[in-house]
Amino acid sequence: MSNNRLLANLKQDLPASIVVFLIALPLCLGIALASGAPLFSGMIAGIVGGVLIGWLSNSHTSVSGPAAGLTAVVLVSIQQLGSFQAFLLAVVIAGVLQFVLGLVRAGSIANFFPSSVIKGMLSGIGIIIILKQIPHALGYDKDAEGDMAFSEAGGSNTLTTLWDTITSFIHPGATFIALVALAILILAERPQIKKLLGPVPGALIAVLTSVLINEAFKAGGGEWAVRAEHLVNIPVSESLSGFFGQFMLPDFSQWNNPAVFQIALTLCAVASIETLLCIEAIDKVDPYKRTTNPNTELRAQGIGNLVSGLIGGLPVTSVVVRSSANLNAGARTRVSAILHGVFLFLCVLAIPALLNKIPLAALAAVLLQVGYKLAKVSIFKEAWASGKYQWWPFIATVVAVVFTDLLTGVAIGLCISIFSILRSNMKNAYFFHEEEYREGDVIRVKLAQEVSFLNKASIKMTLDHLPANSEVIIDATDTAYIDYDVLEIIREFGAAKAPAKNIKVLLNGFHERYEVGEADFVHCEALPSDAPVRKSSPKEKSTTRHSSVAEPADPVAN
């Protein structure tokens, strides 16, 4: 890349990296807190995810770090193993396994994620961000930053926490700061203001303004001042040695503990799926239509988890929230992800006390904007306009992600998508013009280009419901493939069911290899497609089903 090109991209990547840094900061800490791990382990994972994985990855805009989807797994795993350092060994092993998955090209599974499910996942995450960040914006921090699950600690959930906040826990100072920050963010999106600000991101101005406002509230001594429990809380070291003392090594004496390997397998599977989902989602909304090699990404993530585990960090994945924020902030290349990791390291090393003055309400405002862009009404309208076979997997994924968690929601969306594909295939494997029958009429069943076992039930039902004393043409002129099960149904119909109902069956275009030309059939070797069909009564009704099985076979199309 030439220096001019690098400089041109840096004008976009630098401001985007600052936005991602501001979002990643509370999320790294919040995810560590929700996972029952040392707070600094979240920062380590954020730094490794940004600098190391950002450098190794071939994704242009995805950002890696500690993932909210792993909090429950990490929390249970640490409790099961009895120590955080034993858990770090599981992270190291998971990284090795993930790297191997990349070597054996397991990342190709990403090609089977339907676009409707991916879009539903993004919109669902956007809604979760909005629901989760409103309490933080209003000054209520019962649920830790970074917790994305619907069920929360203490028996509450996302909706009950939101209700409690609105009815009982609104902090005036935090609310005012969040509203001011939101106003700045919205104004910064306007073309005139954006031109005036130049490379300075609106999120940075919003955060700096929030710090100044809160310092003024503190100086006034009123109840509007936001106290320490509602500010960023980075561990502060007294010295450089104290800072590096927060890094820790895994407990390698646990190498023969079977539980360590079981947890490593779980971490590898969950982290790999989340990463593949994220890069697939981000690639779909990349304005430059660039694609990420999933196998390269798995290898990068494997090395990242290996290093993170070796120095005391949480497991890392490619993360939707930070990646979306990076893309929306205008990032052009992976330099943005790398710089955000550098900023995390420099700030926790040099100015943690200054960072601890940032109100969480201001950062909640930044995340609210991200959530809105992921779940805009226009996205739902577009999904609706795409038809029911896109809409139902989309909306099912949205609802499931909001009310369960990311992986469960995507799994439900995939099941709905597969069901939709099966239903579409079963209904659209042939052309069947059905008229109100009158004795002597001809009924034509024209098979599509490919007829698979998925069409078995619908073709069987059609043949079973043909009226007695009729004449039916089963036309395979344009058919390249007919599944064995479907051929069996046709043979059975011609040999037993048709004679029982006095139905005359004519075959057209069936290849010799299908071996359906038995004595019970009447052959029509060159029956024209416009074979005469007697006119029905004026009260005729018709149903048309027409498609090829081959078209819906690719669930990622559209």
Q: Is 395 within a domain?
A: no
- Across the range 90-99, mean pLDDT stands at 97
Average pLDDT, the chain: 85
Of the listed ranges 16-25, 90-99, 139-148, 332-341, the one predicted with least confidence: 139-148
- Flag whether pLDDT at 185 surpasses 80: yes
Element (H, E) at 452: none
Does residue 407 belong to any structural domain of this protein?
no
Same domain flag for 209 and 144: yes
Q: Which domain holds residue 546?
A: 430-553
Q: Within this chain, do residues 354 and 495 fall inside the same structural domain, yes or no?
A: no
* Residue 552's pLDDT band (cuts 50, 70, 90): very low
Using the 3D structure, point to which of 309, 342, 376 is the last residue of a domain.
376
Write down the pLDDT at residue 478.
Answer: 81
- Our count of domains for the chain comes to 2
Residue 400 resides in a domain: no
Residue 444, pLDDT above cutoff 70:
yes
**pLDDT tier at 436 (50, 70, 90 boundaries)?**
low
Q: Note whether 441 and 435 are within 8 A (CB).
A: yes
Q: Is the pLDDT of residue 340 over 70?
A: yes
Residues 38 and 154 in one domain: yes
CATH code of the domain in which 463 resides: 3.30.750.24
What whole-number percentage of the chain has pLDDT above 90? 56
pLDDT surpassing 80 at residue 306: yes
DSSP 506: E
User: What is the model's pLDDT at position 418?
Assistant: 83
Residue at 387 is within a domain: no
Phi/psi at 73 (5° precision) = -65, -45
Q: Which of 153-162, 165-174, 199-208, 519-528 has the lowest mean pLDDT?
A: 519-528
Statement to judge: residues 446 and 333 lie in one domain? no
Q: Do 370 and 458 share a domain, yes or no? A: no
- For the four alpha carbons of 378, 379, 381 and 382, in that order, the dihedral sign comes to positive
Based on the domain organization, do 455 and 340 belong to the same domain? no
Query: What is the Cα–Cα distance from 63 to 251, expressed in whole angstroms?
Result: 29
Would you say residue 148 lies in a domain? Answer: yes
Least confident of 346-355, 395-404, 523-532: 523-532
pLDDT class for 311, splitting at 50, 70, 90? very high
* CB contact at 8 A, 418 and 147: no
The mean per-residue pLDDT over the stretch 393-405 comes to: 93
Question: What is residue 495's predicted lDDT score, i.e. its pLDDT?
Answer: 84
Provide the pLDDT for residue 203. 94
DSSP 542: -
Euclidean distance between CA atoms 285 and 376, whole angstroms? 14
| Residue 419 falls inside a structural domain | no
Q: Is residue 405 part of a domain?
A: no
231 and 146 fall within a common domain: yes
What is the spatial distance between Cα 300 and Cα 475, in angstroms, rounded to a whole number? 53
Contacts 24+ apart (CB under 8 A), 408-413: 409/120, 409/121, 409/124, 410/113, 410/117, 410/121, 410/277, 413/114, 413/116, 413/117, 413/120, 413/121
Higher pLDDT, residue 103 or 421: 103
Q: What pLDDT, on a 0 to 100 scale, did the predictor assign at position 532? A: 42
d(CA 42, CA 32): 5
pLDDT digits (tens, 9 = 90+) for 123-142: 999 999 999 999 999 999 88
153 pLDDT exceeds 80?
no
Instruction: Report pLDDT for 427.
Output: 56
| Sign of the dihedral through C-alpha 402, 403, 404, 407 | negative
Indicate if 363 and 435 belong to the same structural domain: no
How much is the pLDDT for 437? Answer: 53
C-alpha distances (whole Å) from 550 to each of 441, 451, 455, 459, 476 are 31, 9, 12, 17, 15
Residue 396 lies in a domain: no
Among residues 346, 376, 406, the one where a domain terminates is 376
Judge if 111 and 208 occupy the same domain.
yes
Of the two residues 5 and 233, the one the predictor is more confident about is 233
Query: Which band of pLDDT confidence, cut at 50, 70 and 90, is reported for residue 528?
Result: very low
pTM: 0.77
Residue 352 and residue 480 in one domain: no
What are the tens digits of pLDDT across the range 459-478? 888 888 788 888 888 888 88
What are residue 472's DSSP bridge partners? 443, 505
With beta carbons less than 8 A apart as the criterion, state whether 134 and 369 touch.
Answer: no
Note whether 144 and 290 are same-domain residues.
yes
CB 321 within 8 A of CB 125: yes
Confidence tier at 525 by pLDDT (50, 70, 90): very low
| Residue 438 and residue 371 share a domain | no
Question: pLDDT for 341-364, tens place per residue?
Answer: 999 999 999 889 999 999 999 999
